[in-house]
Chain A
Amino acid sequence: MDQCGYYPFKLYFNPNATELMIEVKNIHKSFAGVEVLKGITTTFDKGKTNLIIGQSGSGKTVLIKCLLGLFDYEEGCISYDGKIFSQLSEDEKRNLRADIGMVFQGGALFDSMTIAENVMFPLKMFTKQSKSEMEDRVDFVLKRVNLIDAHHKMPSEASGGMQKRVAIARAIVNNPKYLFCDEPNSGLDPKTAIIIDNLIREITDEYDITTVVNSHDMNSVMEIGEKIVFLKDGFKAWEGSKDTIFKTDNKVVTDFVYSSELMKKVRQMYIEEKQ
């Protein structure tokens, strides 16, 4: 058996993986001798918005970058639908990545391209569509993220919320099977943050994709946390859903969830209601 628990003759395929899902087993990752991820094991399910939450420095972004293959890890394994990522050839990895959409924390829009060109970029690189077909698709996804007259704007001319929506449009333009979002509503006002959260949830349902969102925003947890993985100092401290996170007695989770005055009041009301 290998470190993923698979037998050698089934190295590239896990017979138990019946649905599109991402499996993480015992991931360890260090930077300059400091261990940032200390044996994370979890799964991210198909058709769900899976949230990775935790305080700043808990290892959320490192985990998401390990999932995407942007960071190498020392131990453990990550598999996409039973295919172990580290055992794929470079070409196979590139093919898999063509099925992945990613929304980076800062948007990561190409600043030499207009908004429409940014969204069209994956189509240009990976499809043989004609220019008019690509333009139609770009119009469709920009409309889907509620951006109608922004085609010719440069990313620097767009607001933070608009940039995030363009990043989402670029991530979904090629119909990905997996969508990753690294703190999609950081730096946004609460109203725009909710719009972005709803958009992510709707897109996940609409396209039936596996979505992994990295966040420390409790509003996101309440809005879209169908499955939640809580990280603390590089460990997985808790796993559940938005329904169970408010009922758990796990002190590490409750310290995080009820750290704000608003959430403390919500909890008080919940307890009073229960009594």
Chain B
Amino acid sequence: MLKKILVIVLCLAMLVGVFAACSDKAEDNQEPGATAAPEENTEPIKIGVAAPITDKWAEYGKGFEVATQMAADKINGAGGINGRMIELVVMDSKGDPKEATDIARRFTEDEDIIAVVGDFSSTCCMATAPIYTEAKMVQLSPTASHPDYAGMSEYMFGVMGRQDAEGPFVAKYLANKYLGSEKLAVLYLNNDWGVAAHTNILKGAEEIGLEVVALENFVDGEKDFTATLTKIRQTNPDTLCLVMFYNEVSIISKQIAQMGWDVQVCALGPGTSEQIIELGGEDVEGLATSTPFYVTEEDPVAWEFKTEFESKAGFTLNVHSACAYDALTMVAKAIENLGDNVNREDVAAQLAGMKDFVGITGPIVFTADGDVFRKYKIAQIENGEWIQMTDYDYAD
């Protein structure tokens, strides 16, 4: 009898030990709220990266991983942050808010992690905001663009640019002024980003009296749009605005050509993605899109970044990865400004106060909420290449 009780107690002890070991494996235990006040500190500075490295947004997550590592390597190569090397802690959120929440808990509990770059989707960022806020830790998202996100707390930041700036731009300038549209049709991807994006387009269209004759959506993964396109065609628009990412844009362009439908197409979302040209061929000729930045050979820094990124990632540069690069550079700069007193809370104030940061994607100055109002450019595909339309007074 005694032996049996002993066995049970031993098993339980082992179980507890396993859990304790798991939790101690990655992190050191310090008292919460400890600030690193070093005399001569050469320990690495850890920055967390949360990205959807697997599952459906895998290529964007991978882009994050590559771009942030490139930024970290560049800074480390130039001596690091005040002599301390950056170490990235990358975790895969799979684009799932549940996973993102678990990652947020991990990151906030690791005393060495000073700030976090991530996540990709506004949904994940908004789900984790309460956790990061409670830990007074900065979450700088390269791509979250939901207008409600950054305002959630003083620790939430977004670099991509709010949808309520891009949406109206597309409606007012791209569709109306540049393309001369009077009857607009909108086809959008039905996810959190797509809903926010197209709602803002509609708002902008309403403000200038641009008639929206058709509004359709589709779920992620859809490949056959002939039924929807036929439906839209019935309403006779002169311009079709696609709110989605590069893969569907190229598929839809092909199907439009197949239908023999001669309509002007513009897009919000893929930016000047080269994958569109690769996949779409001559069917995407004439496609116009809005983009916050544009990389040409004339800008050697950006061009070098682009070539290096493409050789490391294996696919072409997209705006999301460029934003991730800038996000990490910004966070590193903010930490650098703290000098010897590196702690979590002050990073937020540094970021909020940074007025002169210029990254690959252009100048980034945060609003009071913590996001960015970008200025957009128009680019169009001519002869199989993206050409930036520069002779318009709003394209600065």
Say if A and B assemble together.
no
Which residues of A come within 8 Å of B, CB atoms?
none
